[in-house]
Amino acid sequence: MTQFLQLLVAGVSLGAVYALLALGFVVVFKATGVVNFAHPALLMVGVYATARLRGVNHVPFALALLAGVGTAVALALLVQRLLVHPMAANSVIAVSIMTIGVDVVAQTEIARRLGADILPIGDPWQNRVSSVFGLTVPQTRLAALASGLVLIAAFFAWFKLSTVGIAMRAVAEDPETAALMGVRRARVAALAWLLAGALAAVAGLFLTVFPAPGLEPATGAVALRAFPAAILGGLDSTGGAVVGGLVVGLAEALSQGYADQLSFLGSGFHTVMPYAVMVLVLLVRPSGLFGTRELSRV
Amino acid sequence: MSDSLTDVVPVDRPTGSDDRGTDPAGAPEPRRRGPVRARYAVALAGLVVLLALPLYADAFWLQLGLFAFAAAVAALGLSLLLGQAGQLSLGHSFFVAVGAYGYTALAGSSRTVGVSRQAGLALPPAVAAVLAVLLAGLAGLLFSPIAARLRGIYLGIASLGLVFVGQHVLFNAPALTGGFNGRNVPDFTLLGFRFGTSSEETLFVLGVPFGREEKLWYLGVAVTAAAYLCYRNLVRGRPGRALRAVRDREAMAAIMGVPVSRYKGYAFLVSSMYAGLGGVLLALAFGRIVPETFGMALAVEYLAMVVIGGLGSAGGAVLGAVFVSCLPAVLERYAAVLPGLAPAGSAGVSPAVAAKFGYGAAVIVLLLVEPGGAAAAGSRLLAAGRRFGCRVRSRRIPHPSQPAR
């Protein structure tokens, strides 16, 4: 029972991190219709900046994190303004494929800089554990859970209540009408990318701290698991992204914790668990749990 | 928003000869004889060069060619799926793996390697190759209930799952795949002729000793040419038109009587069979296959090939395949003389990294500047010359929904 509860906490915490990633991904999709395959690259670049500043230049952690977020945001804006925006007239699939090119280039550069090393993040929590209600939980997991919940709540408050959030939802609902109402679509698109970059950098921090060893080229593959989270929640649903993130995080943590009982599925099954869950959900609901169903059936 | 999602890939809307000269009804204009004959001459000359190459080139280039043939066949399949049917797949390397491991397990014999046992049916290699292609098709068919129901971008991410699940299976089924260490690929034989280096007798052709690479080269040429012709026939006929209708507007295609789901499923099936055939060739080219090969990076490479060559274009897919699959090895070979490249292991840009930068940047730049890829750029060059009647892309019927949009 204790093990189950501990796995549950770990799963929800991991899920909150995936939810952050999936949120950024969904926001870009909603605002621009583009599936941003460069999302893992934004994460890698942000975490790399944080870890470098912290480890090599010994900058205070909060500053390093801010700089990491800033770097990811800068890259996101750069990609959006220079590459995605000029292609806006093209089909969304072409733009999405283009972001794969961006991902290849950015991740290759990060992998080249890392070489064979694993870059430790130098976070204040390290591998300390805390005791909560009789459960032993790493402090990094608690921090991830707290930051995730705060950021998600802040995002939704902003998205539902602020003028800019309303403008963004208007663009998602009907781009042409929103433009006629005076919403600047280019600005909304840039804002969506900015948000995606910032959320990715924060999520990346929690994907690379304990129990993960640090930033390594394989972190990109971990970040990719936010895609099934976004898909199974429904690509155009922000609430779905959060639910999807939690489902994927829980499924992964539980299948990792009960690996002994699931050994017939092979070792390391937890890494493919998110995809298995996604395929199962898509079989039943092709647009995800909360996605808008396509109506043009003939 | 959802509306803009359904008009999938107008990327390869003809930029070259197709949309300028044809009348609005899209009746095929009568083909002029001269350029066609010239094109046949060029194709024939190319074929002669390809057939004569093993007599002159050394094993390095031939080996590189084998990888290029394997990549070209698989890329043709993805080009069909993405360029013609408008379905984005990031799972192509999974079907390539099914073909490669299918052939290896079917043609290989059961034996004990070290402590583990490898299962094999020891079928005749030609039969095993055909079965492997069918097996890849079956895998595509099993996935097609999902593929046929998902919209373009959803499919892209769902198929991402295939790569990861597939690799997991490859690593965890050592009896079939050899697990982490991989498995040796049995030599191909056709009607008693062995495509390998035999120690007993060496085959000499015009005084040149023919080893494994030389023999497999001809197999690669034949298979690639056949795959290319099949693709062109398929795309120019009724199925091709139906697929493009589905790509451009699903509702319109359905109204015209195209069973949309079924055709999407077909596209996935044929594409995965192409991938399986490419996988068989890839396995033969490698000689020993390891699960790590068939990961996400390979899937992205296939995508890059198709995009660089030009979506939906057969010649473009082959060209892109040659470019992407040969770039790392060529850069490696000339690392010493190329400026800015450092040999692998030392600091600086290694050839493998440079190759990744190369094709990543090529994808970005081409999509920004010339969305039709190399094929469109080529046909534009030719058209600029003197509207040469170049038929790089298949003839398309400009459909009624386009002007309306």
Percent of chain A surpassing pLDDT 70: 98
Q: Which of A86, A109, A286 sits opposite B150 (nearest CB)?
A: A286
Number of residue pairs across A and B with CB atoms under 8 Å? 164
Q: Specify the residue for token string 């972190």.
A: A219
Neighbours of A35 (CB within 10 A): 29
Q: Distance (Å, rounded) from C-alpha B173 to C-alpha B336?
A: 41
Token pair in block for residue B219? 């197999």
Span of A248-252, B111-115, B176-180 with lowest mean pLDDT: B111-115
pLDDT digits (tens, 9 = 90+) for B319-361: 889 998 888 888 888 877 777 676 655 556 788 888 889 889 9
Which residues have a Cβ under 8 Å from the Cβ of A126 and sit 6 or more positions away?
A139, A210
Chain B closest-CA separation from residue A128 CA (Å): 32
Please give the helix or strand (H or E) that residue B110 lies within, else none.
strand B109-113
ipTM value for the complex: 0.86
CB A101 within 8 A of CB A78: no
pLDDT above 60 (res B390): no
* Chain B from 95 to 134: CB within 8 A of any A CB: none
pLDDT tier at A38, thresholds 50, 70, 90? very high
Set of chain B residues whose Cβ sits within 8 Å of the Cβ of A101: 304, 307, 360-364, 367
Q: How confident is the model at residue B23 (pLDDT cuts 50, 70, 90)?
A: very low
What is the value of pTM for the model shown?
0.84
CB pair distance less than 8 Å for A279 and B161: yes
Q: Residue B85: which of B2, B3, B8 has the closest Cα?
A: B8
The two beta strands, B183-184 and A135-138, are unpaired
Q: Pick from A92, A94, A271: which is nearest to B5 by CB?
A: A92
Which residues in chain B have their CB less than 8 angstroms from residue A252's CB? none
| pLDDT value at A253 more than 70 | yes
Residue B284 in tokens: 């033969």
A chain contacts of residue B303, beta-carbon cutoff 8 Å: 97, 100
- By C-alpha distance, which of A241, A208, A258 is closest to A68? A208
**How many angstroms separate the CA atoms of A167 and B269, rounded?**
43
Mean pLDDT of chain B: 78
Tell me which residue in A83, A104, A282 faces B300 most closely, judged by beta carbons.
Answer: A104
Query: Looking at residues A155-168, what average pLDDT do you find?
Result: 92
Residue among A100, A175, A279 minimizing CB distance to B1? A175
pLDDT tens digits, residue range A215-226? Answer: 888 888 888 888
Evaluated on CA atoms B31, B37, B43, B46, the torsion sign reads: negative
- Which three-class secondary structure state does DSSP give residue B350? coil
Write the residue in B1, B150, B173 that is nearest to A33 by C-beta: B1
Q: How would you write B119-145 as a 3-class SS string? A: EEECCCHHHHHHHHHHHHHHHHHHHHH
pLDDT, mean of residues A191-199: 93
CA distance A293 to A278: 17
Considering only CB atoms, which chain B residues are within 8 Å of A292? 2
- Rounded to the nearest angstrom, the gap between the alpha carbon of residue B12 and the centroid of all alpha carbons in its chain is 18
Q: Which of B103-107, B135-139, B398-402 shows the lowest per-residue confidence on average (mean pLDDT)?
A: B398-402
B174 touches chain A (CB under 8 A): no
Q: What is the dihedral of CA B323, B328, B332, B334, to 10 degrees?
A: 20
- Please tell me which residue, A193 or B338, carries the higher pLDDT value: A193
Structure tokens at B170: 């490859």
Cβ <8 Å between B152 and A93: yes
CA distance A46 to B117: 46
Six token digits for residue B225: 């040419």
Contacts of A169 in chain B (CB under 8 A): none
State the Cα angle at A192 between A187 and A198, rounded to 5°.
125
Mean pLDDT of the B179-206 span: 73
What distance in Å separates the CA atoms of residue A14 and residue B190, rounded to the nearest whole number? Answer: 54
Q: How do the domains of chain B map onto residue ranges?
A: 49-196+206-399
Q: Is the pLDDT of residue A41 over 90?
A: yes
How far apart CA A23 and CA A50 sit, in angstroms, is 21
Q: Does B141 reach chain A within 8 Å, measured CB to CB?
A: no
Which pair of tokens denotes residue A161?
């209540």
| Closest-CA residue to A39 (of A100, A84, A120, A108) | A100
Helix residue spans in B27-151 (DSSP H): 33-52, 59-79, 92-107, 125-149
Q: Are A292 and A233 in contact (CB under 8 A)?
A: no
Give 3-state DSSP helix, strand, coil % of chain B, rounded to 5.
65, 5, 25
Measure CB to CB from residue B158 to each of A282, A294, A296 and give the nearest one: A282
pLDDT value of position B38: 79
Distance from CA of B222 to the nearest CA of A (A): 31
For chain B, report the end-to-end CA distance as a whole number of angstroms. 15
DSSP E strands in B5-68: the ranges are none
Of A258, A252, A260, A253, nearest in space to A278 by CA = A252
Residues A286 and A279: their CA atoms lie apart, in Å, by 9
Distance CA A105, CA A41 (A): 9
Query: Which residue of chain A comes nearest to B86, CA vs CA?
Result: A93
B260, two tokens: 């949309």
Phi, psi torsion values for A136, nearest 5 degrees: -95, 115
Map residue B405 onto helix, strand or coil: coil
Using a CB-CB cut-off of 8 Å, the residues of chain A touching B79 are: none
Question: Quick one: residue A58, left, alpha or beta (phi over 0 = left, psi -120 to 50 = alpha)?
Answer: left
B150, A282: Cβ pair inside 8 Å?
yes
Residue with tokens 């993960």: A212
